[in-house]
Each structure stands twice: as C-alpha cells, then as structure tokens.
Amino acid sequence: MSKKLLVVDDDKGIQKQLKWGLSDYDIVFADDKKSTLTQIRRFEPEVVTLDLGLPPDPANASVGLNILTEILSISPATKVIVLTGNTDKTNALKSIELGAYDFYQKPIDIDTLNTIIQRAFSLVGLERENRRLNKISSSMNGIIGSSQAIEKSVKRAEKIAKTEITTLLLGESGTGKEVFARSIHDHSDRANKPFIAINCASIPENLLESELFGYEKGAFTGAAKTTQGKIETAQGGTLFLDEIGDMPLPLQAKMLRFLQERVIERVGGREVLPVDVRVICATHRNLQQMAQEETFREDLFYRISELIINIPPLRERDTDILLLAKAFLDSYNLQYKKSIKGFSECAKQAMMQHPWPGNIRELQNKLKTSVVLADGPVITAEDMGLQVPENEIKIDESSSLNLREVREKAESSAIRQAYHLSEKNMTKTAELLGVTRPTLYSLIEKYDLSDLKT
C-alpha cells in the first residue's frame, strides 16, 4: 500500500530535495494554508511534514501553528512533523503541545528525517490495527459488531461463560454459532482445557455414535484398537455439538443419559466411564417444532436448552456488515499479499442492501474471491458479485455535465443515504462516509441539508 505523505513548504528547492530523497513515499505538496487544507481533504495523508515558517511572515511561526491546528481539527489521527529553524525551539515545543507528532530542526538531513517519517507511519499502522481490534464487540474475542442485535446475544454469552449451564445456540447457517461457542469456552474456567467440536450433520448415522462415545477393540469390523470418542477427548473442557437437530433419534437416548449422568459407555464396551465436560449445542432447526413432531426427543431438548442464545442473521445487523467486511478485507490482504484499501461507496451500499442468505459465511466467501480477483485499489459491487443499488446516481444525456453540480448532487445523495443507513445517527453517518463529525456538519450546512439534523 502506497504511503501518502504531504509536504508543506514554500521553498521549491526543499520540495525538490524531499521529492527525490523520500522516493519510497507517495508525496503531494502544498505551499500555503489554503492548498494544505485542500490536499488534506483530497488525499487524506497519514503523515505531514510542515514548515512552521511559511509566508507571509517567515520569521513568525504563527502561520504554521495555525495550519497545524487546522490539520488536526480536520484529521486528528494525522501525524504532523514540524520543520523549524535551528533557533526556533520555542515554537517547536509549542507545536508538540498543540498535537504535532514530532519536530525536526533544519538544515535537513534526508536520512534522519526519513527515520522520523518511518516511525510516524509505523505508529499509524499500529493505531489502525488497534482500531480494527476495538471493533470486536465487548470482551468476547472473535465476535465483531456493535449493533443492538449482536450486543444482546453477546451479553447473554458473557453472563453464562463462567457457569456450567448447558447452552443451546440458535441461528441460521453461517451466523457464527461456533465462534460464539469458542468464545464462551475461552472465557470460562475451562479455557486451558480442550475445545472439541463435532458436526452431527456431517458424519454418517452409523458412524456418529462411535465418533462421540468411542469404541472398544473388536467392537466392529475394522476396530483394531480401543479408541476414545469426542466426549472423552473433551475431558475437563468443552464439547460443542453443532447441528444437534440432525442427530438420529436412536442416538439421542444415549446422549440424554450422558447429559443426565455424565457417564458414557464406549461402543462394544461395558465399563461406565465418568466424564467431566461442559456441553454447548447449536442448530439452525426449530427443535420445539421437531419435538412436537416427535423427530427430536422432547426430554433431550429441555436438557440441552438450560439457556438459549439466539444469534441474529447478518441482514439484521445493519452496519456490522461493514465492520465484518473490513475485518475480512484486512485478513485477506495479509493472506494473499494484497493492498486493497477498502470499498467503493457503491459496494458499501450494495452490501447493506443485500439479504445475505448465507450470512457471515457468504460474506467471507465473497470477500475472499474479491480480494483475489480485484484489479483496482478498492473493492466494487461488481467485484463482489452484488447488484448495484438502484438509487445509485446515474448521469444521462439530460443530466447536467457541470462537475460542480454533479459533485454536489452526488455528495448530497451519499450523505442522505448514509444518514438513513445509520438510522439517523450522526457518528455512524460520519464513519460510513469516511469523514469526521465536524466535516459532516460542514457538508450538511454547505448543501443545505438541515432537515437531517431535526
């Protein structure tokens, strides 16, 4: 990923020196307050070098300090390195008080300045990673999101993590039931013991019993040695029974005895073995209805559902979709050595409007494919195979071709869409648009969108 560096200096000689001496960066230039703020808004540089002695009065650093304040008001996370004369230590220290990252006294030594800039970009990377990690909901690791729907489920998981309550996770396929189960285990007193997961729907009926309970040598053809089952393997830890609604009826009776007595018998064996495990179950099926239809044991249902946690589908998690997409993008960028910066506005809108029948698993698959195949710097709706939103602005022959008018219409439309997607929350609106709250309010005033604030 190219590192955008803004150099603010009116000395063309220094501009040229920095351009050739700092060739590892994508450098843009500015030489006064107006051009500086324009470049900040246009390119969003992560690091800025700022000459404090700018015109109209090179002997007075107040112009540079004023620009510093303006930069940080627009983009607080930007790292500003101020350049000063070798006798201007007072204003250099003043700039640090105002929020500058560091200062460097002229004359310029390219190697020394480059080291300071490298450190600034490294800090930017660390802060970006921290922001990504902070998107993880509450203290439950691996569960990303901040929507009300997911927070409700997370709070229930937090409350029961330290208990021994047998828990049933309900949710559509792909909603992250195993992630919830692992997180509950990781926050329990059994965290340093095994977490053993088995999918009851993926193992043939005639093999599932031996997989769960193990078998004695000679119990059946091919049983060459005594083998522990998944339940024994989970001793002291947590057993996760995924898709328990697909467990065959005959095996349900044996599972009920295990849950009631906490003992098992291996297939072909007669020895009763005590087992200490916590059990978490999950399914996308309606077990209550299955119990009424006698396709699932009612007594087993009540045994495994001491506490039920409903995990919402992705379509009900509003802006969590974008948080998850960004987390997956970061992960796949690393995995496939790509440098895709983010998503186009059209892609964001398409993701928010897509019903996601496959939930998080579908989002993961689309993102993985998009990262591998994308040619541009950002992921588009077409890259993800999503339908372009109908409300996307299109320009036809009857439309104005005046760039200022087109830009105003596009920005006004984007602000309104983000506002409604964020359920009229200004902070989330600003996040969706990639701007600060002050900038958002300035745009609302600029385009006379005062109805958005009422």
CATH number at 32 reads 3.40.50.2300
Four-CA torsion 441, 325, 395, 418, nearest 10 degrees: -30
Number of domains the chain is built from: 4
Convert the pLDDT of each residue in 214-230 to its tens digit.
Answer: 999 988 888 889 999 99
Transcribe 129-161 into DSSP letters: HHHHHTTB-TT-TT-B--SHHHHHHHHHHHHHT
Of 233, 237, 232, 258, nearest in space to 247 by CA: 258
- Residue 117, pLDDT score: 93
Category of 44 on φ-ψ map: left (φ > 0), alpha (ψ -120 to 50) or beta: left
- Residue 63, pLDDT score: 81
- Residue 444, pLDDT score: 80
Sign of CA dihedral 310, 315, 318, 322: positive
> How far is CA 108 from each of CA 13, 17, 21, 84, 85, rounded to the nearest angstrom?
12, 9, 11, 10, 10
Question: How far apart are the C-alpha atoms of 28 and 19, rounded to whole Å?
Answer: 9
Beta strands in 43-160 (DSSP E): 47-51, 79-84, 102-105
Question: How far apart are the C-alpha atoms of 360 and 139, rounded to whole Å?
Answer: 20
- Residue 398, pLDDT score: 42
Band the pLDDT of 60: cuts 50, 70, 90: low
Identify whether 389 is part of a domain. no
Band the pLDDT of 390: cuts 50, 70, 90: low
- Residue 402, pLDDT score: 60
User: Is residue 180 within 8 Å of 153, Cβ to Cβ?
Assistant: yes
**Residues 223, 294 share a domain:** yes
Identify whether 30 is part of a domain. yes
End-to-end CA distance of the chain: 40
> How much is the mean pLDDT over the chain?
86
Identify whether 393 is part of a domain. no
Band the pLDDT of 162: cuts 50, 70, 90: very high
- Residue 357, pLDDT score: 93
**Residues 350, 234 share a domain:** no
Question: How far apart are the C-alpha atoms of 19 and 4, rounded to whole Å?
Answer: 12
Question: Residue 165: pLDDT above 70?
Answer: yes
5 Cβ neighbours under 8 A, 6+ residues apart: 22, 25, 26, 27, 28, 45, 46, 47, 48, 49, 117
Across 271-286, b (16+ Cβ under 10 Å) vs e yields eebebebbbbbbbbee
**Residues 154, 227 share a domain:** yes
- Residue 255, pLDDT score: 95
- Last residue of a domain, which of 109, 133, 157? 133
Mean pLDDT of 366-378: 89
Convert the pLDDT of each residue in 313-343 to its tens digit.
Answer: 999 988 789 889 988 999 999 999 888 888 8
Of 369, 416, 367, nearest in space to 389 by CA: 416
- Residue 76, pLDDT score: 85
**Residues 299, 247 share a domain:** yes
Question: How far apart are the C-alpha atoms of 155 and 152, rounded to whole Å?
Answer: 5
Bridge-based pairing of strands 263-264 and 273-274 is antiparallel
Convert the pLDDT of each residue in 27-39 to its tens digit.
Answer: 999 988 899 999 9
Identify whether 142 is part of a domain. no
Question: Residue 47: pLDDT above 60?
Answer: yes
User: In a 3-state reduction of DSSP, which class is residue 423?
Assistant: coil
**Residues 100, 158 share a domain:** no
How are strands ordered across the β-sheet holding 307-310?
A: 195-199, 238-242, 278-283, 167-170, 307-310
- Last residue of a domain, which of 133, 162, 190? 133
Q: Which residues pair with 283 in a beta bridge?
A: 170
- Residue 395, pLDDT score: 41
Helix axes 426-433, 437-446, angle to 10 degrees: 90
Domain limits for position 419: 403-453
209 Cβ neighbours under 8 A, 6+ residues apart: 251, 254, 267
Q: Which amino acid is at 193?
A: K
- Residue 446, pLDDT score: 76
- Residue 393, pLDDT score: 41
- Residue 56, pLDDT score: 56
User: Is residue 145 within 8 Å of 137, Cβ to Cβ?
Assistant: yes
Convert the pLDDT of each residue in 92-120 to its tens digit.
Answer: 888 888 888 888 888 888 888 999 999 89
- pLDDT, greater one: 60 or 64: 64
Question: How far apart are the C-alpha atoms of 197 and 251, rounded to whole Å?
Answer: 17
Identify whether 361 is part of a domain. yes
Convert the pLDDT of each residue in 249-301 to its tens digit.
Answer: 999 999 999 999 999 999 999 899 999 999 999 999 999 999 999 999 999 99
Convert the pLDDT of each residue in 201-212 to its tens digit.
Answer: 999 988 999 999
- Last residue of a domain, which of 268, 284, 312? 312
Of 215, 299, 293, nearest in space to 252 by CA: 299
Question: Residue 137: pLDDT above 60?
Answer: no
Identify whether 396 is part of a domain. no
**Residues 152, 281 share a domain:** yes
- Residue 440, pLDDT score: 79
> How far is CA 388 from each of CA 191, 316, 324, 345, 391, rounded to the nearest angstrom?
45, 20, 20, 11, 9
Q: Which residues pair with 47 in a beta bridge?
A: 5, 79
**Residues 288, 258 share a domain:** yes
Lowest mean pLDDT among 62-71, 157-166, 238-247, 383-392: 383-392
**Residues 295, 198 share a domain:** yes
- Residue 436, pLDDT score: 78
| 309 backbone dihedrals φ, ψ, rounded to 5° | -120, 120
Identify whether 397 is part of a domain. no
Lowest mean pLDDT among 124-128, 135-139, 260-264: 135-139
> How far is CA 218 from each of CA 61, 90, 91, rounded to the nearest angstrom?
89, 87, 85
Question: How far apart are the C-alpha atoms of 109 and 202, rounded to whole Å?
Answer: 64
**Residues 189, 83 share a domain:** no
- pLDDT, greater one: 331 or 434: 331
Q: Which residues pair with 343 in a beta bridge?
A: 379
**Residues 182, 59 share a domain:** no
Convert the pLDDT of each residue in 169-192 to its tens digit.
Answer: 999 999 999 999 999 999 999 999
Share of the chain above pLDDT 90, in %: 48
Question: Residue 394: pLDDT above 50?
Answer: no
| Ranges 58-62, 234-238, 317-321, 339-343, most confident | 234-238
**Residues 225, 165 share a domain:** yes
Determine the longest span between alpha carbons in the chain, in angstroms.
95
- Residue 5, pLDDT score: 94
**Residues 327, 303 share a domain:** no
Question: How far apart are the C-alpha atoms of 340 and 335, rounded to whole Å?
Answer: 12
Identify whether 139 is part of a domain. no
Looking up tokens 């495994």, which residue turns up?
304
